[in-house]
Amino acid sequence: MNVEEAKRIVADQKELVEEKLSMNYIKREVGDISRFLVIPNILAILGVRRSGKSTLSLMLMKELNVKFAYLNFDDESLYGLTTKDLKSIEQAIYEVYGNDVDYLVFTRGVTSPYF
């Protein structure tokens, strides 16, 4: 995958995320999960299929008012992604979102064929 193709995918997903963030969601009580983001850390949100893990991640980023980049690996354009393609994906993320992101949010479903 070349960088331009990766940038198209990242930019398309960024538009979808911006649409999602502009929607009004019902606030759910999930406790203070933001406390797990105070140090350099990887936070994995696990749950059953279609339970709102991705939405929760986006709501958390919105609530914290931080700069973040988002990539959903369930995008059909990313099927067959190889480890060599990850460098192009990384470069595309920073070219689309800028170098000053605080968090990277990656999502994928459990049925993804490439993990």
Greatest mean pLDDT among 46-50, 54-58, 92-96 lies in 92-96
d(CA 48, CA 109): 10
Tokens, residue 32: 């203070």
| pLDDT at residue number 112 | 44
d(CA 27, CA 46): 19
- Which backbone phi and psi does 28 adopt, to 5 degrees? -110, 145
- Supply the DSSP string of 57-100, one letter for each residue: HHHHHHHHT--EEEEETT-GGGTT--TTHHHHHHHHHHHHH-S-
What is the average per-residue pLDDT within 18-27?
Answer: 86
Q: Which amino acid type is present at position 7?
A: K
| pTM of the complete model | 0.82
Question: Tens of pLDDT along 89-106?
Answer: 999 999 999 999 999 999
What is the average per-residue pLDDT within 58-83?
Answer: 91
49: confidence class by pLDDT, cuts 50, 70, 90: confident
- Cα-to-chain-centroid distance, residue 28: 20
What is the average per-residue pLDDT within 62-77?
Answer: 91
Residue boundaries of the structural domains of the chain? 3-107
Percentage, residues of the chain above pLDDT 90: 46
